[in-house]
Amino acid sequence: MGTKGSGKAKDLRDETILFKVTAREKAAIEQFVRDKKEGWTVSEYIRVAVLFDMIHSGDVEALQIVSGTVKDRLVEKMRALVGQEPTLAQAGHK
């Protein structure tokens, strides 16, 4: 499975949390991510699910983490879109 944020220099994720699951739970989670979350890794899906559960419980730190990530992704998308559009000067020469 691919990942939305792989290969980015900004990705500072270097900590690991391990937890045990049954073979059935593992298979179900992996199948769900493959079928429903195109471009996501299992770890990304689990990380987002936990953070959103924390936000739902009123955790402000989780909200700040998610909003910062969303803001960063929006900025990246906007920069990519701006890079694809001709500038006003270029558009005038056509």
pLDDT of residue 10: 56
Cβ within 8 Å of residue 5, ≥6 positions away: 11, 44
62 domain residue, yes or no: yes
User: Is it the case that residue 41 has pLDDT exceeding 70?
Assistant: yes
What's the total number of domains in the chain?
1
pLDDT of residue 73: 81
1 domain residue, yes or no: no
3-state class percentages of the chain: helix first, strand second, coil last, to nearest 5: 65, 0, 35
Give the global pTM.
Answer: 0.64
8 domain residue, yes or no: no
Question: Which of 83-92 are b and which e, b meaning 16 or more Cβ less than 10 Å from the residue's Cβ?
Answer: eeeeeeeeee
Question: Which of 46-80 are b and which e, b meaning 16 or more Cβ less than 10 Å from the residue's Cβ?
Answer: ebeeebeebbeeeeeebeeeeeeeeeeeeeeeeee
Q: What is the mean pLDDT of residues 65-92?
A: 77
10 domain residue, yes or no: no
17 domain residue, yes or no: no
